[in-house]
Every structure is written in C-alpha cells, then in structure tokens.
Amino acid sequence: MSEAQCAPVTGFDDMSRIRTLNERYLSSAANLPISFVFDGSVVAGIPASWKPVSRRRRIDANIVETVYEGQAPRGGLTLRVECVEYTDYPVVEWTAWFRNAGSQPTPILSDIQALDATIEGESPVLWHCNGDFCSAEGYTAEESPLRDGRTLAFAPYGGRSCDSAFPYYRLMFEGGGLSLAIGWPAQWAASFRAVGGGVHARAGQERTHLRLMPGETIRSPRITVMAWTGDAARAANLWRRWYRDHLLPRTNGRSLGPLLAAHGTDEGEEFTAATETNQIRYIEKWRAHGIPIDVWWIDAGWYHCYNPRHERQWWYTGTWEPDPERFPKGLKPVSDCAAKNGVALLVWFEPERVAWGSRLLAEHPDWLLKDPAWFERTKTKNGLKPAEHEEILLNLGDPACRRWLTDHVCQLIQENGIKIYRQDHNFSAPLAHWRAHEPPDRQGINENLHVQGYLQYWDDLLARNPGLWIDSCASGGRRNDLETMRRSVPLHYSDFGYGDHPVKLSFHHVMFQWLPYFKESTLAWDQEEPTRFDRRVDSYAYHCGMGPMIMPCIDIRRDDYDFDLMKRMLAIWRRAAGFMLNGDYYPLTPIHRSPAHWVARQFDCPETGCGSIQGIRLAAAPDATITVYPQGILAGATYAFENMETNETKRVSGAALIRDGFTLALAARSGAIWFYSRTNSAGSSLPEHAWCR
C-alpha cells in the first residue's frame, strides 16, 4: 500500500463547505474577501469600475489557480489576486498583489486586509494560541466563545510572525468549522468579531499607509482556509494530512521522513570551538559506536566570528566565510566525511543580523537598517561597548543586497557540501528597524519589501541547489508562519525547555496539530545541570524527546555511555516517528505542564489499522497505572499489541478496547510505547506501510 493511501478520505460535507465559501468569495472579482483604502475610498474585492479580468489554469492534478486582475480608474494602481483551490482537500488560499503601473507615485493605499469576510455558523468558538517566546507559558492554546459582539484581536511582538502570537486559528461552529492560517513572516494583525449568525474575520499586514513608486509592487499575506466537519480532532488530522501531502519539503522526490541528527564540539559557546579535525573525528566516533546518523549538525560559530578583542563569539555575524583558523579548507572536508558515512551536513546561518566589525558592515553599510532609538534603550553589557552588540538589520528588501546574498550563500552551499540550510533570526524587533526608516506616506513599505526579498531568497536557494532543504529558526519558533513553512520545517520550535519534560510535552500538542515535522532532543534537566556535559543515556528522556527528528544529547568525546541502550531506544523511536509523522494524532490525556500527571497520546493510521499508544508517567505522578481510550478502534476487530522495549505482546478485541480502554502500568519517571496492528479474520495483521514496521 502506498503512503498516499493512508490519507483519510475527505468527506462530502468538507468539500461542500469549502465549495460554499469558494462560491461566495472566490468565484467573482467583486466578492473577493479582501479590502483596502485607496485615495480615501474603501474598496472591497475588485470593483467593476476596475474592469476586472480572470484566467484559470490547472497547476497539477490536485491544484487549480484562478487569477483576477484589475486597474484603478485613476492613480496607476493594479491589483492581482491569486486564488488556489485544492481538489484533493477542502482547502483554498489567496494572495493579493498591488503594483504601480503608472509613471507617478500612487495616491495613498492603506489598511490592506488580506482577509475581510463574514463566516457563517452557530455558536462560534475560536481556537487560538500565544506562540513561542522562550517561556514555559508559550504554545498555550485557548478556546474562546465569540458571542454578543465580542472581538478578539491578535498580533505578534516586534515583527516576527510567531513571537507571542500564532498565525493559526480554528473557527469552530456546530458540526464543523474552518481552520485559518496567515502566511506572513513579519508583523501581521488579525481580529475576529461575533456578528449575527457568524464571525467577521479580518487579517493583514498590521500597518499599511503608503504610496507606491512607479514600477513598485507590494503583496498581502497569504490566507489559507480549510473546511472540516466533525470535531477539533478531525480538524487537526485533516490539516496534518494536507500539510504532509502539500507542504512538507521533498528531497529526491520523497517527503522528509524520520531523521536522526547528531553533533559534537569542544568547550566554547555554541560551535565556536568546532574545527575541521574535531568535526571529522566526532562523525567517525558516532559511526564507530554503531549509531547510523542521518544529519550532522553544525550550529552557530563556524564562521569568522571574532569580536574586537579577537574572541570568538557566535553572535558576531555578518562575515559569512568558514573561519580559516579552524577550517583552513572550508567545511568541505567535514561534508565529505559526512557523505562518506551517508550523512547530510546541516549548517547554521543568520544573514539578517549584522554585527559590529563584520565584513557586511564595512563593505555595504548602504544595505543595512539601524534603529536610531537603539542607543537610548540599550546599556553597555558584558563589558562591551553599545555598538559592539547593536542589532543591525540586513535589508533584504534591497534587490542588490538580496542578489548578492543569494549568490554568496549558494557558493558556500555548493563549495562546502551543505545539504540542509538552517536559518536563524535572533532579532528582537526587526519591526522597529523597518519603521524607523519610513516617512509618513510610506508606512509598511520596508517590511513588505523585506518579506518579499526573504521569501525570494529562500525560493532561489531551493531552485539553485537541488535536494537542499531548509530549517526555519528564529530564537526558537518565532517565525513559523505558513508562508515560511511552505519552504522549510521548524526543527527548533522553541528555545525554552529542551530538558523540561512536562513543558515540552505540552508544546508538542500544538506542534503535532499544526506543524508536525520538528526536532526533539534527549536532555533531562531533572537529572543533570542544563549547561553541563554530565549526560547519560536515559530511556525516559527518549520517551519525552520523540519527534520526527531526534537528537541524542551526549558528549561524544566520552566513551562511557550505554550505547546498547541508545540503539534500542533509537530503534523504538524510528518506528514511532513514522506514526508521529504520518498517522492521525489523538491526545489521550488532558494537556498540562505538571510533573505530577501522566501524558498519553496515540497515532493511528485508520486504513491499515496500525498505530501506537505512548504513555509517559512523569516524575511526580503518583498513580502507577492509567487507563486510556484509544480512538479509531473497530469493535469487531482484534488488535495485536507489541512493546519493543519489554518484548511483551498481547491481543485485545476492539470491543474490549472501546468498553474498557487500554491500561498502562509504569514506574515513576518512565514511559512505554505499544505498537498495534489490526488483524484479519485469520488472525494475521493487515499489510503495513514501510514506516509502520
């Protein structure tokens, strides 16, 4: 059975719901769900006076695009709205593009709303989340009833799309609803207001009040809408499958599968102590211990990162060349060693942040944006002068800057054998830098052009480096909007709680629903100091650290680990990760952040009847057992269960599972994964996917 056959069948009601929305809002230029103010007048859709035209084309077997275009009767402004309809899922998307086709600046264009529509339904409830901000309180989801004219408004902090906000929403009505995503890797704003018979939703770039110069183009966020019937679990799983089938990066014609990442470095901040010699030695040590890794991870600090005192500090970015003192031949000897062992090289970059004393600052000050108020807000710290830790933003809205960066990084990728490009964005407030350089009649232009340049930069990296894929990072998970996710995966979804098991397991709940490919690690802060290397192979930490990508956290310089236990846990992980990525997701216990409770979750492939049930008894949970009720079980079937860690097996009827549940018994601070498969009338398991085994 092919992987594609595991996608759940899209129901008639799902497609009926999305057709209703499509017919109301996307079937004519006048009804498009966008609005803006142009030359003092409110405009909705593309009015007849703009003489709209449309064209329709099939992009592939499952995607149809309709483009609407029109031109303002005066002022030279043209509007193009690109609408995309998926025929295999109940999903539509649209993006608006504004261009000055005249020879003079346009009148003021303002308050551009990429979404401005009323969505009908009874008893509306909005699912929303607060995103990532390096806190135990991050990724907190709420369900807020919308009634009596109530309005809920949202925006991120400082210009990174998921910083203290989350551009993913679920509007729930009686019997179904809509999932909404705002694709804008900068400062968006959204509001949801209860109105008679439904909800009025608005979303767009937070501030637009500008004239377009001749030939200049800006765009709106991309809006993605999925319709669904049933409950929130079905909404989440339909989204997961669409995301896997249409957004997850593909390499060599296949979607990303489970990957085992590893790293090694000596003492020093991040990878400032990494050298050609030690990186090659550590890759070979992992292989010598019989651990077949997939990805070799080199993070911040491999480049020329010297402060004025010639001390290596990873945040001294802006000179993008391998440090010749540590990598005299570049990274190629490291990537060659990795490739010889069947391993892909991942390398960290942060091109948008430029440090004092860097080559970019010296050679291209015209490409940089500073915040004039920065010196007033910042005090000397760590013995550095203010200028030495100033945030300076590389302006990707400058075409010459973007072209240079693209050419330079492509050369680095090709010459150094880089297979995975990891981009970080440790910039606390790029929004202040954009806005500080905008006159009153150009508000929002720098942000908009930067977003276009950033996305074009990634598109060009992918087009010019076949097989490359991208990891999106921004001080953790602070720029993981859907437009970014169309080009990447969010391996490093937060800078908080790597070894705080109750917290990160609660983070997983949001990730598994919306962004199902991410990296986890096997740190255990209840057993060790977070900053030290006194780590051990801990089966409990592996249970808490499972995701589609996993990174075992050991100090590879040492040889006194229980590598046999590591291999056993990684074998369990690899089988479980296939379900985590491809199966339907069901939390079997309430979401919490307390060490005094259990966590249980299920991943199920209904077409094959196989899946996994994982139970984790957190360190302070007093109950030795828990009974959970798995989903998707057929009463007339029998299920064969296997625990790879203990070699236990059992057979349970579907009727008994539905009636009595499934009981897990564990010692405190331990976990278990039970893999199951539905058997046929002869007692044999049904055929499984390759990732089920």
Domain CATH for 429: 3.20.20.70
Q: What is the pTM of this model?
A: 0.95
Domain count for the chain: 3
Question: CATH number for the domain including 591?
Answer: 2.60.40.1180
- Element housing 459 (H / E): helix 445-464
18: nearest Cα among 56, 64, 61, 60: 64
Q: Let me know if residue 344 belongs to a domain.
A: yes
Taking only the tens place, the pLDDT of each residue in 195-251 is: 988 999 999 999 999 999 999 999 999 999 999 999 999 999 999 999 999 999 988
Query: Domain boundary at 196, 221, 246, which?
Result: 246
Q: Measured between alpha carbons, how far is 570 from 561 in angstroms, rounded to an integer?
A: 14
CA angle 623, 627, 633 (to 5 degrees): 160
674: nearest Cα among 603, 601, 614, 587: 614
Q: Measured between alpha carbons, how far is 150 from 693 in angstroms, rounded to an integer?
A: 50
Question: CATH number for the domain including 44?
Answer: 2.70.98.60
**Neighbour tally for 603: CB within 10 Å:** 24
Q: How far is CA 101 from CA 44, 69, 117, 446, in A?
A: 20, 13, 28, 20
Q: Measured between alpha carbons, how far is 402 from 409 in angstroms, rounded to an integer?
A: 10
Give the position of tokens 């509306």: 124
Three-state SS at 141: strand
Q: Measured between alpha carbons, how far is 664 from 650 in angstroms, rounded to an integer?
A: 13
Query: Domain boundary at 533, 562, 581, which?
Result: 581
Question: CA quadruple 152, 158, 160, 163: dihedral positive or negative?
Answer: negative
Say if residues 374 and 449 touch (Cβ distance below 8 Å).
no
Regarding whether 300 and 161 lie in a shared domain, the answer is: no
- Element housing 540 (H / E): helix 539-544
Query: Domain boundary at 518, 546, 581, which?
Result: 581
Mean pLDDT of the chain: 93
Q: Measured between alpha carbons, how far is 637 from 632 in angstroms, rounded to an integer?
A: 11
Mean pLDDT, rounded, for 389-398: 90
Regarding whether 239 and 278 lie in a shared domain, the answer is: no
**Neighbour tally for 127: CB within 10 Å:** 21
Say if residues 627 and 662 touch (Cβ distance below 8 Å).
yes
What pLDDT score was predicted for residue 1?
Answer: 29
Q: Measured between alpha carbons, how far is 666 from 658 in angstroms, rounded to an integer?
A: 22
Regarding whether 300 and 169 lie in a shared domain, the answer is: no
| pLDDT-based confidence at residue 691 (cuts at 50, 70, 90) | very low
Regarding whether 261 and 233 lie in a shared domain, the answer is: no
Residue 5 has pLDDT above 60, yes or no: no
Q: Measured between alpha carbons, how far is 190 from 187 in angstroms, rounded to an integer?
A: 10
549-551/638-643 β-pairing = unpaired
Q: Let me know if residue 132 belongs to a domain.
A: yes
DSSP 8-state code for residue 489 = B
Least confident of 355-359, 480-484, 630-634: 355-359
Regarding whether 362 and 276 lie in a shared domain, the answer is: yes
Q: Let me know if residue 2 belongs to a domain.
A: no
Q: Measured between alpha carbons, how far is 353 from 427 in angstroms, rounded to an integer?
A: 7
Taking only the tens place, the pLDDT of each residue in 301-320 is: 999 999 888 899 999 999 99
**Neighbour tally for 292: CB within 10 Å:** 13
Q: Let me know if residue 3 belongs to a domain.
A: no
What pLDDT score was predicted for residue 266?
Answer: 86
